Amino acid sequence: MKSPVTISFSHFNKLFLSMLATVVLAQVLLVSTAKAGELPDFTKLVEQNSAAVVNISTTQKIKQAQTAPHDFNVPNMPRNSPFGDLFRHFFGQGGNGGMPREYETQSLGSGFIIDADGYVVTNYHVIKNADQITVKLSDRRELKAKVIGSDERSDIALLKIDADDLPVVKIGKSSTIKVGQWALAIGSPFGFDHSVSVGVVSAIGRNLPSENYVPFIQTDVAINPGNSGGPLFNLKGQVIGINSQIYSRTGGFMGLSFAIPIDVAMDVVAQLKAKGKVARGWLGILIQDVNRELAESFGMHNPRGAVVLQVVPNSPAAKAGFKVGDVVIQFNGKKIIRSSDLPLAVGQAPIGVKAQVKLIREGKPETLSVLIAQLPSKNVLAENSPAGTHKGEESRLGLLVEDLTDDQRQRLGLDGRGIVVRGVEKGPAREAGIHRGDVILMLDSKNIKNVKQFKKVVAGLKKGKSTPILIQRGNAPIFLPLKILK
């Protein structure tokens, strides 16, 4: 008779733990496999929408201004030498009489068909100054396109082609976009037609320098030169944006891509289709963000809104009573959190209709009613934009200041105010970021007319309190928070 098998309690525990670990590992692998299987399959989306995405090529004729000197001859170069072509390109072949020669440049971009009538949407910068525009379809057809209208401020252009059996995209709503959701781009990076790239929405409502009317969608979708004007899709196969810009130090993709929201784009498209141009609302003020220090200096508890740096003469804002130093916190019921929120809200406001604007003036809430006008052309705006001497030292701030002459004020468009900074020493002014050559326009909500008045205003400033100071640097006014220490 065999002796009974005995298993110690500790051995049983080890065996049990080993089996449990095996089960847990198997479950983890199953879950991982299941999750991998849950990743979106983009093949159907691409199959259904790729045909409606087009390649756009443009041709522009340029006259070469550089010509050879009168007695200059193209040197004899070896046959087929690239240097010979280079000389002939810049200086022409002998016997042209020094006349400027004309040559063509080409550029590539993307676009997409929005309806069966042949309307194609792309970026303005893709077709800018083009003499000829060719739209290439997925079935290899190449068609000449007509520009229906374009809008430089939003970087949108509407083209028209004549063709039958055109595939079209489905238009979605960019207002429903959420950060983290999938996004897919189709376009022609570097001329490679119908290239697909995938990523996620990184941020929404992103504002870029010098872009006042577009709250961009930021993604990490790989976008490169040639993708411009192409569509950005959601998982439903709907266009939610138009790929427009990238942030890059190399000229190629670096993980930051920006698309124009389709809601903004289609509003522009509707105006271009109806009138061939876009009309936007206009207030006539220059603004900047309110940071924590500025908020404190304006008597506000939280940094928000857009502070007015300049009011354009005879503008809607001037007629409504806007003042430099006002902080706009709401426009027609829309909260203004960042200064970039205001141009978009004003641009979308109906022209010729009064808007209600809530603001903070010298620490107190106030509401103004302003009649919205149409945004003038860039040339008109540029024309209205500004550009016996007494010296004095303001030791409390660490400044050496000087009165401006009447001629200097006239050249800068300052209307009898402003003093110039001739020196900055250690003190509150340097801490605030004031530089030599800055022109001080306002301090503690008071217009500064001369050095004598400026010193009186400085003397009345409270110790330990942050105060807004308005300066003009070059042609650009800017508010800075100035904190008095003694």
Rg of the chain over all Cα atoms, to the nearest angstrom = 31
Q: What pLDDT, on a 0 to 100 scale, did the predictor assign at position 342?
A: 92
Instruction: Give the CATH number of the domain where residue 456 resides.
Output: 2.30.42.10
Phi/psi for 133 (5° steps) reads: -125, 125
With respect to residue 121, please indicate whether it lies within any of the assigned structural domains: yes
With respect to residue 412, please indicate whether it lies within any of the assigned structural domains: yes
With respect to residue 448, please indicate whether it lies within any of the assigned structural domains: yes
Task: Give the residue among 111, 147, 62, 342 at the shortest CA–CA distance from 226.
Answer: 111
Same domain, 287 and 358: yes
Q: What pLDDT, on a 0 to 100 scale, did the predictor assign at position 469?
A: 92
Same domain, 364 and 400: no
Q: Per-residue pLDDT tens for 398-412?
A: 888 888 877 777 777
The residue from 125, 263, 267, 289 that is catalytic is: 125
Q: How far apart (Å, rounded) are the C-alpha atoms in residues 438 and 279?
A: 36
With respect to residue 298, please indicate whether it lies within any of the assigned structural domains: yes
Instruction: Give the CATH number of the domain where residue 183 resides.
Output: 2.40.10.10
Same domain, 262 and 286: no
Domain tally for the chain? 4
Q: What pLDDT, on a 0 to 100 scale, did the predictor assign at position 384?
A: 53
Could you give the residue ranges of the DSSP H alpha helices within 339-450? 341-347, 378-383, 406-412, 428-432
Q: Per-residue pLDDT tens for 210-233?
A: 667 898 999 999 999 999 999 999
Amino acid (one-letter) located at 476: A
Average pLDDT over residues 390-398: 69
With respect to residue 14, please indicate whether it lies within any of the assigned structural domains: no
- Among 321, 356, 382, which residue terminates a domain? 382
Q: What pLDDT, on a 0 to 100 scale, did the predictor assign at position 273?
A: 94
- Among 328, 351, 382, which residue terminates a domain? 382
Same domain, 191 and 245: yes
Amino acid (one-letter) located at 336: I
Q: What pLDDT, on a 0 to 100 scale, did the predictor assign at position 163?
A: 93
The residue from 110, 150, 174, 228 that is catalytic is: 228
With respect to residue 82, please indicate whether it lies within any of the assigned structural domains: no
Q: Per-residue pLDDT tens for 268-311?
A: 999 999 999 999 999 999 888 888 888 888 888 889 999 998 88
155 included as an active-site residue: yes
Mean pLDDT for the chain?
83
The residue segments making up the domain with residue 478 are: 387-483
Q: How far apart (Å, rounded) are the C-alpha atoms in residues 342 and 339?
A: 6
- C-alpha 259, offset from chain centre: 10
Which phi-psi region, left, alpha or beta, contains residue 205 (left: φ > 0; alpha: ψ -120 to 50)? left
With respect to residue 40, please indicate whether it lies within any of the assigned structural domains: no
Q: Which of 81-85, 178-182, 257-261, 414-418 has the lowest mean pLDDT?
A: 81-85
125 included as an active-site residue: yes
Same domain, 228 and 307: no
115 included as an active-site residue: no
